Structure 1
Amino acid sequence: MTVHDPEFYRLEVFLVRPTKYDDDGYLLRHARGVLPSNTLACLHTLTEDVRRRCVLGKVELRVHLCDESVQALPARRILWAARRRRTRTVLCLVGVQTSQFPRAAELARRFRARGVTVLIGGFHVSGTLAMLPETPRDLRALIEAGVTLVNGEIDATWGGVLRDAAAGTLAPLYDFTGDKPDLSVAPVPRLEPHLMRRFVYRHFGTLDAGRGCPFACSFCTIINVQGRAMRCRDAATVADAILTNYRLTGTCHYFFTDDNFARNPNWRAIFEALIGLRERRGIPLRFLMQVDLLSHRIPDFIALAARAGCFQVFLGMESLNPASLADGGKHQNRVANYADLIEAWHGAGILTHVGYIIGFPHDTPASVRDDLRRLRDDVGPDLASFFMLSPLPGSADHLRLTTAGVAMDADWNRYDTFHPVIDHPQMSRATWLALYEEAWRDFYASANLERRLARAPRAQHVTLLQLYLWYRTATEVERFHPMMTGFFRLKPRTDRRPGCRVEGRARHLRRRGGETWAMLRGYARVLAELQHLWVATRGEHTAVEFSRHAFEPCTGAAVVGDPSEADTQAGAMHDRSEPHRDDAVAPEPSAAAEQVAAALDPPGKVHELATRLRLWAAFLRAMFIAAEPQLNGPGPTTRRGVQESPRAPSYVDFGDAAAGEYVALADTAVLGTRHSTTNASATAARQA
């Protein structure tokens, strides 16, 4: 049957990003995710481009998306589509990382047994085939089962693969490693609004402005799949994609997934294009990116990044031990420059987030603890993500250990950087794991978070608090690495790892009931601690900087047409509120007076409870809504119901406004950690 066979007219493509299993064999899935998959967005955009260009001729192409980290796999729908007459169905398991490979392989075998065409791609397949001299046994078994493996980047060849799928002539293996795509002409990933509703912040997207990295870290897989030569998209193309996403979905927050944005040859042109979107079009663009530790030495890089909307930068610091850096091939890192690096980014009002690896061969428990103390107290990043050194397939470390015959765990599900998978020369696996968990507890202890929040730029205060909420709940409540964790864990009863017994309904319900109650208590505990931190670190200057007038919407013209007019109007709003603020700050009553008042006025307890509830509402409002752009109203819709550009986007720092409401309430609430702001200090702050 050919593509143009009149008996065949439809190709159903299911793009699925598989999740991983937890230690009990349950799927790692959450009610709401945090980081959407850029690979899923890329493949969706490429498939839509194939349909737009009619690469398959008269064949109707339909595409469906599923991110298993936040969605249930539509298994029945896939099987139903495979049984339809005159229809071919393809299940594409995309962006498969090493820890996700067991789940992907299980799905591939399950659906191949039902006659569904299956493809698998991602860094595990590509890295393994790129580095090892022979195809491993588990990949050969999948090929023998009729599964197609895709090695390399597929941007320039996806249309040909779909043409083969439509014709029923898929090859067992596609190797595109020698033909790196030209990103300057490749379609830019577009967001799918239906999928984004599964994430905490619907207006947060991903975009890769470039690929590759010139450095040669031994633990890295990216350089052996995407290469060390930098390839990048055109600045105008990036800006156009961001503008289109904003008009259609309101998306204005991005994670640039480039492994090293600082080495993108077009970084200056891209930043200038983003500055134009912010300053001339009034788009409230904000983004985070990954850069190397020499980026602060690039002239104008930090200054232009701040103007372009960068609010957070991820730095691959990896270690404070020079011997460990040499072990990992991080010759570009200079420990003596770490503090200056952090200060340079902080000086531009940008949050710093460092990646830190525990378990290099020269690491000992004592040296790691000392280095972590220096990281916390001397270097002082705002956030840190800790990883256990893992020889991921596709890295030079994995090739070296495989060649040397070193024993490594056979279960790929454990290769998630928070399980020890090899023996360490200086410590036992149990000690290594305990040290890793200690690093999370120590850095994200309330005392350190209070120091970080106190020094954070005012404009980033809410953002940093949101990140702490994510990281604290991930490590303390969900018990997973934050970068693999969302909010509110789900555990499907029947979809469990092969070999694990499926529980009965009653037993599963009882166990999940206890786990859910413990999870909710954990969330409440973390929220309460962060609420106290907010009052302790934000209260004094927020109480005098914001009033309820901050919630009044400013005109869209002031923001879109001339940002300076918006600043003038905001200043006028603060001026109007000044006469009312002196009355709002009153001397704090003594504890004895409060007890007497409560005894003589029982209804006062009701008022206190109501105030506490309003406090929590304002706090949660800022935590989960502060990052969303505030629009004056929906834009016009097309006949297909697609929303076009929003009317007069009026973006205000909603986090600051919510913080103002929160602290205004905190001034009247009876809190154990109430801040003490006197009339004199408030007046002095206003005058300053």
Structure 2
Amino acid sequence: MADIILINPKFKVSYWGMEHALPLLGKRANLPVACLPLLAALTPDGHTVTLIDENVEDIDWGRCARADIVGLTGMSVQRFRMKEILAELKRRGCFTVVGGPYVTVEEGYFGDDADVIFVGEAEVTWPRFLEEWHRGVHGPRYEQAEKTDMGRVPTPRFDLLKMRHYAFGSVQFSRGCPFQCEFCDIIVTFGRKPRIKTSGQILAELEAIRAQKQRIVFIVDDNLIGNKAAIKAVLREVAAWQEANGFPLAFTTEASIDLADDPELLALMVEANIVSVFVGIESPNEASLRETKKYQNVRAGGTMLEKVRRIQDAGLEVWCGMILGFDNDDATIFEAQQEFIRDARIPTTMIGMLNAIPKTPLHARLEREGRLLDWSEESSYGTNIVPLKMSREELRDGYVRSMNALYEPSAYFDRLDDLLLGGDFPVAGAWMRHWARHPWRRLRDQAELMALALGLFALLMLRVPDAALRREYRRRLWGLLRIRREPTVVVSYVVKCAMHYHAHTMARDMAGGRSPIYNSG
């Protein structure tokens, strides 16, 4: 049987990567990718599997040369490093297989460096390949005829990862999204029909991630609420599990803005201890939203700002994604986005330039119009599109200015304080209600949370090199403590300081020419 090594390549610096902040906190990566532990779980008995995440450990090339099969995965932002790794593996005579999001949308990118490629999901094709490899009859390309039945997906092998090096855990409840955003590759890879695991599978996954001593977990679904009826049933089970186990996990996730239109769903997410939700706002420009078929953002039921406020009022912090460079965007879009983010009280904002990913409708349209740049090499513009109402230089420079403006300390913390101190924003409401019923558990948990907050803040004070930033973090935390002392709020605020340091440093490095243009979108 096979000795298998599966590799996730190192990411470039990115908004979500937290590369500048994690060393300050004693961590090497933000969270593990979902595919490595899942592929390990899908591997039939008799094979041996070693997982290597280059974001937390170096690749042992000699070990790879001794393996029977070396597998590589990766997203579009990892494609250049994937190519470097494959070239080195080929030089060493390794038998290589490649799967994941990028090879799914750009099959020919790696040329002859990969012996076998996997397109799309691999729950069926990975075991089939291993059986055919064992018989010596494997093919060069595998693609599932049907989407994966999520009710048959096994619990990922988190135990094979070095979980102590990650700041957060990750789990997956569902795949697929019902919408049709022109720029999105999710519907290319996972389709528009949401598929969801059973409650039993999800609870087993939560137990597995809990066993790795993770406390904050990202539900990596691209749209958790794609099937609202199904996710409501799951959330009830998750809430009951949390209550029975003393709320061991706090979650963050992604959802479309129509979440604001469903009070029952909002309440169930809070009861399951989901504390924040990432929403694809994309743009305050309605013409741009319609252009990109983001119709869920322009439906009746209130403005986007009103919908953000409804989600916040329910007790969920809103993080958001914003995109610059739609065809209907001109030079006024930069200030318009900053104004919206300020008014919406959203501190955590991933802003990026529009990219056209192969196989998406956007890519096909811009290719027809002759408005695509070469994506095979790094671009000094940070994107592969040619914008319509501004030059490439204006888009790039406006993006860098926007990042710096949003993460200038006073702007960032004013948004955060407006949310936490300017009203009655509730944090971890279900957890609070649980503590009210269990006073001794409340004392224990709150003591642990305050110790964690103090420890993390001490690390920031010791390791952030900029004295002015350290002073600002101290001043802001003291301002918080004069009004709100709930340990859940204090921990969240300290984590927000670390997130600010990363985004602020990333933005300043780009503006000062100390780094290339990292497109966070």
TM-score, scaled relative to structure 2: 0.79
Deviation at 1:284, TM superposition (A): 2.3
Query: What residue in structure 2 maps to residue 150 of structure 1?
Result: 118
Q: 1:451 aligns with which of 414, 421, 425?
A: 414
Measure, in 1, the Cα distance between the counterparts of 2:236 and 2:492.
33
Measure, in 2, the Cα distance between the counterparts of 1:63 and 1:459.
41
SS in 2 for 1:357: strand
Map residues 534-549 of structure 1 onto 2, 5 A cutoff.
534-536=477-479, 538-542=480-484
SS in 1 for 2:297: coil
The superposition leaves residues 167-215 of structure 1 with CA deviations (integer Å, 9 ceiling, x where unpaired) of 4433111122x3111001111324236521222x3xx321111111111
Q: 2:34 aligns with which of 31, 35, 38?
A: 38
Measure, in 2, the Cα distance between the counterparts of 1:105 and 1:400.
27
Deviation at 1:458, TM superposition (A): 6.8
Q: 2:311 aligns with which of 345, 350, 359?
A: 345
Query: What residue in structure 2 maps to residue 267 of structure 1?
Result: 231
Measure, in 1, the Cα distance between the counterparts of 2:358 and 2:403.
26
Measure, in 2, the Cα distance between the counterparts of 1:441 and 1:213.
32
Query: What residue in structure 1 maps to residue 218 of structure 2?
Result: 255
What residue identity is the alignment partner of 1:540? R
| Aligned residues of 1:156 and 1:186 also touching (Cα < 8 A) | no
Map residues 171-182 of structure 1 onto 2, 5 A cutoff.
171-176=139-144, 178-182=145-149
Map residues 397-436 of structure 1 onto 2, 5 A cutoff.
397-414=362-379, 419-436=382-399
Measure, in 1, the Cα distance between the counterparts of 2:305 and 2:102.
35
C-alpha change, 1:405 and 1:168, in structure 2 (3 Å) is farther
What residue identity is the alignment partner of 2:8? R
Deviation at 1:521, TM superposition (A): 6.0
Measure, in 2, the Cα distance between the counterparts of 1:256 and 1:524.
35
C-alpha change, 1:121 and 1:413, in structure 2 (3 Å) is farther
C-alpha change, 1:626 and 1:159, in structure 2 (3 Å) is farther
Q: 2:474 aligns with which of 523, 531, 545?
A: 531
Given the alignment of the two structures, is residue 393 of structure 1 paired with residue 358 of structure 2, yes or no?
yes
Query: What residue in structure 2 maps to residue 15 of structure 1?
Result: 6
Query: What residue in structure 2 maps to residue 211 of structure 1?
Result: 175
SS in 2 for 1:262: coil
C-alpha change, 1:525 and 1:36, in structure 2 (3 Å) is farther
Measure, in 1, the Cα distance between the counterparts of 2:415 and 2:326.
28
Q: 1:379 aligns with which of 344, 357, 366?
A: 344
Deviation at 1:69, TM superposition (A): 2.2
| Aligned residues of 1:225 and 1:394 also touching (Cα < 8 A) | no
Query: What residue in structure 2 maps to residue 300 of structure 1?
Result: 264
Query: What residue in structure 2 maps to residue 113 of structure 1?
Result: 91
| Aligned residues of 1:99 and 1:413 also touching (Cα < 8 A) | no
What residue identity is the alignment partner of 2:38? C
The superposition leaves residues 135-192 of structure 1 with CA deviations (integer Å, 9 ceiling, x where unpaired) of x4x34x22xx55211111011232111223334433111122x311100111132423
C-alpha change, 1:263 and 1:20, in structure 2 (3 Å) is closer
The Cα RMSD (Å) is 3.4
Q: 1:277 aligns with which of 241, 250, 273?
A: 241
Measure, in 2, the Cα distance between the counterparts of 1:520 and 1:427.
41
Query: What residue in structure 1 maps to residue 56 of structure 2?
Result: 70
Measure, in 1, the Cα distance between the counterparts of 2:491 and 2:218.
24
SS in 1 for 2:386: coil
Measure, in 2, the Cα distance between the counterparts of 1:35 and 1:527.
26
Query: What residue in structure 1 maps to residue 156 of structure 2?
Result: 189
SS in 2 for 1:332: helix
Measure, in 2, the Cα distance between the counterparts of 1:527 and 1:160.
54
SS in 2 for 1:355: strand
The superposition leaves residues 115-137 of structure 1 with CA deviations (integer Å, 9 ceiling, x where unpaired) of 211011111111235xxxxxx4x
| Aligned residues of 1:108 and 1:147 also touching (Cα < 8 A) | no
What residue identity is the alignment partner of 2:115? V
C-alpha change, 1:101 and 1:146, in structure 2 (3 Å) is closer
Deviation at 1:622, TM superposition (A): 8.6
| Aligned residues of 2:273 and 2:428 also touching (Cα < 8 A) | no
Structure 1 alignment gaps of length 5 or more: 1-9, 52-59, 83-88, 130-135, 471-486, 489-518, 551-618, 628-688
C-alpha change, 1:412 and 1:206, in structure 2 (3 Å) is farther
SS in 2 for 1:266: helix
SS in 1 for 2:2: strand
The superposition leaves residues 15-57 of structure 1 with CA deviations (integer Å, 9 ceiling, x where unpaired) of 101125679xxxx99751113211223222222xx22xxxxxx
Percent of matched pairs sharing the same residue = 24
| Aligned residues of 1:392 and 1:398 also touching (Cα < 8 A) | yes
Measure, in 2, the Cα distance between the counterparts of 1:75 and 1:207.
29
Structure 2 alignment gaps of length 5 or more: 430-445, 499-521
Query: What residue in structure 1 maps to residue 514 of structure 2?
Result: none
Measure, in 1, the Cα distance between the counterparts of 2:265 and 2:7.
37
The superposition leaves residues 376-426 of structure 1 with CA deviations (integer Å, 9 ceiling, x where unpaired) of 3322223211011010113111122234443412435559xx813232222
Deviation at 1:332, TM superposition (A): 1.4
SS in 2 for 1:166: helix
C-alpha change, 1:626 and 1:281, in structure 2 (3 Å) is farther
Query: What residue in structure 2 maps to residue 355 of structure 1?
Result: 321
Measure, in 1, the Cα distance between the counterparts of 2:492 and 2:303.
39
The superposition leaves residues 496-544 of structure 1 with CA deviations (integer Å, 9 ceiling, x where unpaired) of xxxxxxxxxxxxxxxxxxxxxxx966565544322221112x13135xx
Deviation at 1:620, TM superposition (A): 10
| Aligned residues of 1:318 and 1:355 also touching (Cα < 8 A) | yes
Deviation at 1:430, TM superposition (A): 2.3
The superposition leaves residues 442-474 of structure 1 with CA deviations (integer Å, 9 ceiling, x where unpaired) of 2222223333332324747999xx99xx9xxxx
The superposition leaves residues 578-616 of structure 1 with CA deviations (integer Å, 9 ceiling, x where unpaired) of xxxxxxxxxxxxxxxxxxxxxxxxxxxxxxxxxxxxxxx
Count of aligned residue pairs for this structure pair: 454
Q: 1:369 aligns with which of 326, 329, 334?
A: 334
| Aligned residues of 2:6 and 2:52 also touching (Cα < 8 A) | yes
What residue identity is the alignment partner of 2:353? M
Q: 2:200 aligns with which of 228, 236, 240?
A: 236
| Aligned residues of 1:212 and 1:223 also touching (Cα < 8 A) | yes
| Aligned residues of 2:281 and 2:322 also touching (Cα < 8 A) | yes
Query: What residue in structure 2 maps to residue 506 of structure 1?
Result: none
Measure, in 2, the Cα distance between the counterparts of 1:437 and 1:43.
38
C-alpha change, 1:90 and 1:323, in structure 2 (3 Å) is same
Q: 1:91 aligns with which of 70, 88, 98?
A: 70
C-alpha change, 1:521 and 1:272, in structure 2 (3 Å) is closer
| Aligned residues of 1:338 and 1:379 also touching (Cα < 8 A) | no
| Aligned residues of 1:41 and 1:191 also touching (Cα < 8 A) | yes
Query: What residue in structure 2 maps to residue 159 of structure 1?
Result: 127
Deviation at 1:341, TM superposition (A): 1.5
Which has the larger displacement, 162-171 or 223-232?
A: 162-171
Measure, in 2, the Cα distance between the counterparts of 1:257 and 1:45.
18
C-alpha change, 1:181 and 1:121, in structure 2 (3 Å) is same
Measure, in 2, the Cα distance between the counterparts of 1:99 and 1:291.
22
SS in 1 for 2:337: helix
What residue identity is the alignment partner of 1:411? S
C-alpha change, 1:306 and 1:620, in structure 2 (3 Å) is closer
Measure, in 2, the Cα distance between the counterparts of 1:270 and 1:252.
20
Deviation at 1:364, TM superposition (A): 1.3
C-alpha change, 1:300 and 1:449, in structure 2 (3 Å) is same
The superposition leaves residues 36-87 of structure 1 with CA deviations (integer Å, 9 ceiling, x where unpaired) of 211223222222xx22xxxxxxxx42111111223211112112x24xxxxx
TM-score, scaled relative to structure 1: 0.61
Which has the larger displacement, 209-218 or 249-258?
A: 249-258
C-alpha change, 1:446 and 1:112, in structure 2 (3 Å) is closer
What residue identity is the alignment partner of 1:182? D
What residue identity is the alignment partner of 1:257? V
